A and B are shown apart, each in its own frame.
Chain A
Amino acid sequence: MKIKAYKRTDGSYGIRNKVLILSTVGCANETAGRIADQVAGAVCIPNTKGCGQIGSSVDIMKRTMAGLVLNPNVYGAVIVGLGCETMQPYRLYESIKAKTKKPIAVITIQDEGGTIRTIQKGVNIASKMVQEMSKLEREDTDLSAIILATNCGGSDATSGISANPSLGCCSDRLIREGGTVFIGETTELIGTEHILARRAKNEDVRQNIIKIVKGLEKDFARMGIDVRGANPTPGNMKGGLSTLEEKALGGISKGGSTEINEVVRYGEKPQKKGLIIMDTPGYDIESVTGMVSGGAQLCAFTTGRGTPIGNPIIPVLKITGNRQTYEKMEDNMDIDVSGVLQGKITLEECGSIIFHKVIDVCNGHLTKAESYGFSEVSVYRNFEIWCNNL
């Protein structure tokens, strides 16, 4: 199956054309935002932190900032910093420059001499980038160029029996066509690690699956939290879920049934194609942001209760198997697969509907979240040790 996308200098294909105004620290967010506001085709990613960070939190932030710039949907980027932050803007710029030939610039408020001059310079640079970007035309490529992020949020009793397994059928088909699918949300893998491990391509992948799941469980236990004991929740049980495995299986069904080819860290780009696990947290916006940094060009998002989230760089497609949710939140839901629960349509047929919608979105059709300009983004931060002693 062919799609039309924008070819990048590194050989990757973007399904959207964006100039990214990336803030390296909260202190530069307003400045970066005003640059993006002034330039059509530019989007701002404000920083959820960028300073006062320690330990592996710094590595995660650096990796993810770089990954967001490297995402195939990004034509070029202007990195906007304050100057003195942990996330050193010039070093970040150099590290990204070493990996790509796409247009990138860096400016800092302290070096430019205040926000007005920074905004002026940023607008100048970004407007030239969008003019160049606008000359690009979509070219034929195939689905092996595509990485689909998956996520579920606001899950309910319908999620594991309609939206997730329907998306799983789409994932299998995309992978058959040579594409790549991310599954994440490591918290929700607890209870299925033995099943996922059996699906690992090799021993290395098997060990990494066990490592991320068991490691997370140990971290929870250290804080006195028993994930296995707390799941399924009373609400889950009322909805019909009896065991942790059953809940987790319903969640991972969105990745389909193929073997797992690689496990990557949060925000990391995979080396392999096919089904990939990314170690992401349970918070939807952080999980999706990690996958965007890993190179996903779009996200298929399943929900039971409904959620409006979008992303500044990639389209987010909403799928629900709850008829009431679709009717109540039709302005936020792209696909209704509730027919499965009325015996009107099979999971395979729903998978096909999602697959074709994915193709349309790859070719430029807007998702509902995109049409509203929704751009939720948040980089996961660990090592938050402050304000915990009184």
Chain B
Amino acid sequence: MQEEKRAIRMNLKDNVAVVLEKVKGGEVVHVLYENEVEIQVLAKNEIDMYHKIAIASISEEEAVLKYGEIIGRAEHAIEIGEHVHIDNLKGVAIANEN
């Protein structure tokens, strides 16, 4: 029997959540908002504790939202359950600057 894994969503607008423990590919992640399990997502790959998991499919160049705000854009399409980090997410603040 599989151990229940959890992630926390900071804002209802967000398309990523933060996993509260290390998750392996193939595990089911319960995404909490205000302590209620909102949705369940199947992890696509390994995700370290406090790293982000996509809870919606995100197309290339689409805004990635956490705290209900844009934290960057998807470098390429991201599927539900994928680890979202520096390989597929780029900040826009840097681009704005140059």
Contact = CB atoms under 8 A, between A and B. Distances in A.
Interface of A: 157-158, 161, 165, 190-192, 194-195, 228-229, 237, 239-240, 242-246, 249-250, 253, 340-348
A161 B97 CA distance: 27
B21 to A, nearest CB: 9
The residue among A246, A344, A348 with the most chain B CB atoms within 10 A of its own CB is A246
A192 B70 CA distance: 10
A243 B93 contact: yes
8 contacts: A192-B69, A228-B97, A240-B51, A243-B93, A245-B71, A249-B66, A249-B69, A250-B67
Nearest to A229: B94
Interface string B4-47: 00101010000000101000000000001011000000000000
Interface of B: 6, 8, 10, 18, 20, 32, 34-35, 48-52, 66-67, 69-72, 84-86, 89-94, 96-97
B84 A158 contact: no
A65 to B, nearest CB: 36
A72 to B, nearest CB: 33
Given A228-B97, A242-B85, A243-B72, 13 more contacts: A157-B50, A158-B50, A161-B8, A161-B10, A165-B10, A191-B93, A192-B69, A240-B85, A243-B90, A244-B94, A245-B93, A246-B71, A343-B20
Given A229-B94, A341-B8, A343-B32, A242 B84 contact: yes
Contacts of B69: 192, 195, 245, 249
Given A242-B52, A243-B71, A161 B18 contact: yes
Contacts of A165: 10, 67
Contacts of B72: 242-243, 245-246
Nearest to B87: A242
Contacts of A341: 8, 20
Contacts of A158: 50
Nearest to B91: A243
Contacts of A250: 67
A163 to B, nearest CB: 13
B18 A228 contact: no
Contacts of A192: 69
Nearest to A345: B35
Nearest to A193: B93
A240 B71 contact: no
A240 B52 contact: yes
Contacts of B84: 242
A242 B89 contact: yes
Contacts of A229: 94
A162 to B, nearest CB: 9
A237 B84 CA distance: 12
Contacts of A191: 91, 93
Contacts of B32: 343
Nearest to A243: B91
A106 B33 CA distance: 57
B94 A228 contact: yes
Nearest to B88: A242
A348 B86 CA distance: 30
Contacts of A343: 6, 8, 20, 32, 35
Nearest to A344: B35
Contacts of A195: 69
Please give me the 9 A-B residue pairs with the lowest Cβ-Cβ distance, nearest first.
A243-B91, A240-B51, A246-B71, A240-B50, A157-B50, A191-B93, A243-B72, A245-B71, A242-B89
Nearest to B7: A343
A241 to B, nearest CB: 9
A161 B93 contact: no
Contacts of B18: 161, 240
B89 A243 contact: yes
A339 to B, nearest CB: 10
A253 B66 CA distance: 11
A190 B92 CA distance: 12
A343 B66 CA distance: 18
A190 B91 CA distance: 12
Nearest to A253: B67
